[in-house]
Structure 1
Amino acid sequence: MTAAARHLHLSQSAVSHALARLRLAFDDELFVRAGNAIVPTALARSIIDPVRDALHGVEQALVAAARFDPATSTRAFRIGLRQANEARVFAGIVAEVVRAAPGVTLGSVNFRRSEVAEELARGDLDLAIDVASDATAGLRAIPLQTDTMVVAARRGHPRIAGTVDLPTYLAADHVQASPRPSGPGLEDEGLAALGETRRVAIRCQNIWSAWQVVAQSDLILTLLGTHAATLLPVADNQIVPLPFEIAPRPLQLLWHPAAERDPGNAWLRTLVEAQLAAA
């Protein structure tokens, strides 16, 4: 109750009285003690999403009715960005936001790809930048950029110099960059379509570490070409074409339908789209 009251900027007594009224209206406890925690009842769980959607709709209606002036706004925006994309595009977006809306605050937020729709629906994110996936169905989306996969190897690699063929690629030890502790990458799905597999010897949490592993070893890394170009100042690895085809997956700007008419969200969408088109 204390934590909920603090979050709602109300007194603990006000929250307790509100919960008592809700329990009477629903004829259900709504929240019960389980050990040292308080958990929602089955009925409370069943109404969470409808109530959240209704409240979000009211919030968006109020926002849409208000005029958004970037020059005077002090609104806080949050953009969902995977780590590699943050390194490549966020600085340019920030520069444009600071120029056009000096009072606005902007946050880059990492997210699980499977939860992006839910985070946009809750308002935890205003926008997200990512490739299309099953999790993005039902979201508004516009394509931003289409990229191709490449292979990075250190200069002086004993078996790779300017190009790599499929047998050499398969025989090499690979480093994979992913915040997930396990699971295949896009390149593994492409290899599976050919009936082939590779050996991932090293798994890193982020692409910067993977790039540096490549620079100091004979391991190779498969990554997007734009990410590779961004990482060249970190270490001067060679970049060569991937020796098999992977269907391109365009980067998309994503937002929830409930934010469609939000003038602030629309302003930020336009700014992000223009910035990435110029990048």
Structure 2
Amino acid sequence: MLKNFFHKKKRYATIPSERSKKDIPEGLIVKCNKCHKITFAKELEKNYHVCPHCDHHLTVSAPDRVRMVLDDGNFFEYDTDLISTDPLNFEGYINKLEKDMEKTNLNEAVVTGEGTIGGYPVVIGVMDSRFRMGSMGSVVGEKITRAIEKALVKQYPFILFSASGGARMQEGILSLMQMAKTSAALAKLHEKGILFISVLTNPTTGGVSASFASLGDINIAEPNALIGFAGRRIIEQTIRQKLPDDFQTSEFLLKHGQLDMIVHRKDMRKTLIKLIDIHQVKGGM
């Protein structure tokens, strides 16, 4: 009798019903893809989309990046009418482009334009990895080249945030041509002594890392960003050696001289302002 009286009832976990799951607004919380902890989206936004638990830098959309870096309300976008076609008749390509346009509310994987940062006028380009993994096709290369040419005419510093999986395979050789085109435009910028700051974010790989992303007068990266050309497995199979664990990270590249600095996202704006200020011509010629 006494045994039955003090017997504890088993407790079972309650599984939310499908209806209750739908009651949670989409986008309210975000799960970090490194530490897997959950954070309210609003809190994450206030923290520059950096995980407050492990300091992992999460993906940032191009519009959010522009808002983080430039002075409030001071941005004029270039070439909003440029849209990719399907020059090679690659099956399903147009459909994928349309889906990404709808998902991101962007026409392509890069946003370019001009604005001010700390009062200094700049031309800026920001790649968005949500659109075809930030891959570089003809339109991406053309928009970046036109932005460089605008900086050349206006003699404004040029800032480019890279985030890309490389050249866009659906456009074949036309994608690879963008490497040469953008690099040639940057050579003209260099000849005129106009500052180019390249900011490499996670990931910056393939043809983008092998062209304009690595040609900055100053090359900056965010912490622990993946930066490289070919993938780790391909390189290991080619050289038949095990690569270091931190290979192709910002920290590895800084140690080996490919980067000038690593800057935390919350410090990026003030670092860019300081660099632009240092490179201003004081007092005329």
Task: Specify if TM > 0.5.
Answer: no
Q: Scaled by the length of structure 2, what TM-score is found?
A: 0.24
Q: Which has the higher contact order (CA 8 A, sep 6+)?
A: 1
The TM-score normalised by the length of structure 1 is 0.24
